Amino acid sequence: MSRKRKPFLLIVILFATVLLLLSFWVIRQNSNNPSESLMIHNVVVSTELDDKLRLTGTVSRFPYGSRQIFLRFDYNKAMNGSEVRILWFTGEKLVQADTYKLFASSGSKIYCLVRENAQPLPRGPYFISILSSSEHLFDFRFEIY
C-alpha cells in the first residue's frame, strides 16, 4: 500500500515545487521594473494654495498675472526610493525639469513653477509631463491667457 502512495506523494511534492518556483519568478519579474506599478492620479493644477496647503481655483486656463503654478497629484504603488521627473513646458520649450524621490508607497506631492524674477508667467500654452524611468505616467495641458 505504501508503494501506491509514493507516486502520488511525489507528484504533489513536484507540483508544489513548480508552483513555488513560478511564484518566485513572477515576483522577481514584477520587482525588476518598479515604474510599471507606479500610478499617478488626481492631478490638479492651480495658482493658489489655501491655509491647509490644498489647491484652490483649479482650472486649465489662468489669467495673465499668475506668478506661480502649482501641480498636485496623488500616487500609489511606488517602490521606496522611486523617482518621478516633472517636466514643465511653455509651448515646445522646456522651462523646468526636476527629479524627485518618493519615499512612501503612496501619498500626495505638490510642486510649483515660479518665475525667479517675480514677473508674471508668460501668456501661452503650457504642458506638464510626469515621468518615471523615462516612462510617461501623466500629461497635463493648461493655458495662461
SS3 115: coil
Residue-wise pLDDT for 93-123, tens only, equals 999 999 999 888 899 999 999 988 888 999 9
Between 30 and 86, where is the model more confident? Answer: 86
Alpha carbon distance 105, 33 (integer Å): 15
Burial string for 91-130 (b: 16+ CB within 10 Å, else e) reads eeeeeeeeeeebeeeeeeeebebeeeeeeebeeeebbbbb
pLDDT of residue 20: 82
pLDDT of residue 35: 44
Q: Mean pLDDT across the stretch 129-134?
A: 86
Strands 68-76 and 39-46, how do they pair? Answer: antiparallel
Residue-wise pLDDT for 51-96, tens only, equals 777 777 667 889 999 889 999 999 998 887 889 999 999 988 999 9
pLDDT of residue 145: 92
Q: Mean pLDDT across the stretch 10-19?
A: 84
